[in-house]
Chains A and B, each alone.
Chain A
Amino acid sequence: MRLDGRIAAVTGAELPLARGLALALGKAGAAVALFGDVQALASVVRELESADVRAAAIDASWDSREAADEALVVAAESVGQVDVLVHASVPEIAFEHCDFVDVDDERFETIWEGSLRGTMFLLQAAYPYLRDRSGSVILVVPTIAMSGAARLVTYTVVEEAQRVLIKAVARQWGPDGITLNCLAVAPEQVPIGIESTSVSLAPPALGGRGEPEHDLGPVAVFLASDAAAFVTGATIGADGGIWMAP
């Protein structure tokens, strides 16, 4: 499956999960714009470039609509008009375990409002580009959000809200030819210190957590490709067979 000519924007590639997805998309032929902390992303850019992938790190934020618009404009100027958006970033504080009664307004504001508003602004900013190019959105979520997790209430609330937002928006933007899907990954793929075995009644069917570039990357490439043009609003679990509902 190839993505030649596509331009992918990826958030969260400071961490191994989205870094692996970015490498997979790039090696499948897409040019890659990495949104986030330029310094932390420099090594990913180097790795992409050494694989002959056109790539740039963009000092982008999406905490306001204006900032998100700016990120898409800079991406268009430096790499090209985005037609694949992979969103894997949440505020780091979301990963911290905390009893829900100890979550104060400030923490809830940062995790909940920060994540949801950011995702809204990114999607809204990306819409004109995606519409013109029958683009696709891939939201990366851990399957632990679907099963629920003690002491990670706010994080799971964010991820499930985003996952269902993707479904609703998939219904609205379908007539534009835009697809929006979720890639659901094992809990070990995000830095929350939770093992797969604690999530499900059964252990992961395939054993390990999966390797981001080689196990999860191909699923992202598929969702970004023409082969998935009729797949939208779906959550594709690539967690090694932990969460199997439905």
Chain B
Amino acid sequence: MSAAATESRLSGRTAIVTGAGQGVGLGIAHAFAAAGANVVIAARRAETGEPAAGEIRARGGSATCIVTDVTSRSDMEACVAATVNQYGSLEIMVHNAFRGGTGHRFEDATLDLWEQNSRSAVWGSYYSAVLAFPHLQRAGSQGRLILLTSPAGVEGSVNIPMYSAVKAAQRAMTKSLSKEWGPLGITVNAIAPVAQTPALAGAFAENPVLKERVEARASLRRIGDPERDIGGVAVFLASEEGGYVTGQTIVCDGGSFMGL
């Protein structure tokens, strides 16, 4: 594919990416903008969201930061309304924001930790889906919902049971909604990434052996780049070329998990 073709794959479309102030969300936002989309950085904190949007604009892309708490229906309503008000449409909704990945023993796990996991991953997905829906419906065969999940949502993770549960919830939402919205032309997919993010960097700093282990487990022997590796998959799913893929979890982890 030529550079020009790549750059125009999402031109004229508008995307909201939650949790796009950093990490995987930021990578996807950059990739969307490079493919020609208008990108709304829905970030909980302006301190990360505004510089992210600024960086995209500095690269010649179209981006706005809207400070949004994905666990709040009214925040999400306002974010969707402001997006459509500014750009005229919303074709692509990406829910990536997450809080609560702290390791825990399940028998001692607190409701507070559950709340973080549940509200950010599952309620955030629910709000993303239902509030974007009227606009995705209008977009018809260009309508896209993409949820960021994890291999832990397939096989369970020993250190983070609650994370495993909410990531599985998102995969199930992907499958069932793809069936519900398929007749309208809207696709619903999930991406399960492993990428170099601040969260992962923090985990590696705490446990240097983990980096070696994660790299060794990947067939490609490296950790994914949020923009190039994960963003590329998101652009594909959001583009016309990805229009016949729905209800799927695309594992994008360099070939670590092959259980699907």
**Do A and B actually bind?**
yes
Q: Complex Cα distance A100/B177, Å?
A: 8
B: number of interface residues (CB 8 Å): 44
**Minimal Cβ-Cβ distance residue in A for B160:** A168
Q: Pick the residue among A127, A168, A170, A233 that contacts B165 (CB under 8 A).
A: A168
Query: How far, in whole Å, are A105 and B126 apart by their CA atoms in the complex?
Result: 9
Docked complex: A97-152 residues within 8 A CB-CB of B: 99-101, 103, 105, 108, 112-113, 116-117, 120, 123-124, 127, 145-152
Instruction: Tell me how far the C-beta of B171 lies from the nearest C-beta in chain A, rounded to whole angstroms.
Output: 6
Q: How far is the CA of A139 from the CA of B21 in the complex (A)?
A: 38
CA A166 to CA B114, docked complex, whole Å: 15
Q: Do B176 and A149 touch across chains, with their CB atoms under 8 A apart?
A: yes
Complex Cα distance A150/B52, Å? 36
C-alpha gap A108/B118 in the complex (Å): 12
Interface of B is mostly: helix
Cα distance, A175 to B120, chains bound together (Å): 31
User: Which chain B positions have C-beta within 8 A of A233?
Assistant: 156
The answer, yes or no, to whether A42 is at the interface (CB within 8 Å) is no
Interface residue? B55 (CB, 8 A) = no
Chain A-chain B contacts (Cβ-Cβ < 8 Å), number: 123
In the complex, A138→B203 CA distance in Å?
33
Decide: B155 and A167 in contact? CB cutoff 8 A.
Answer: yes
B164 CB–A CB distance under 8 Å: yes
Whether, in the assembled complex, B166 has its beta carbon less than 8 Å from a beta carbon of chain A, the answer is yes
A112 to B121, CA, bound (A): 12
Residue A181 lies at the interface, judged by CB distance under 8 Å to chain B: no
Not counting A153-B180, A168-B165, a sample of 6 additional A-B residue pairs whose C-beta atoms are within 8 angstroms of each other reads A112-B126, A146-B175, A148-B172, A148-B176, A148-B178, A246-B260
Q: Which residues of B contact A (CB under 8 A)?
A: 73, 105-107, 109, 111, 114, 118, 122-123, 126, 129-130, 133, 152-158, 160-162, 164-180, 247, 259-260
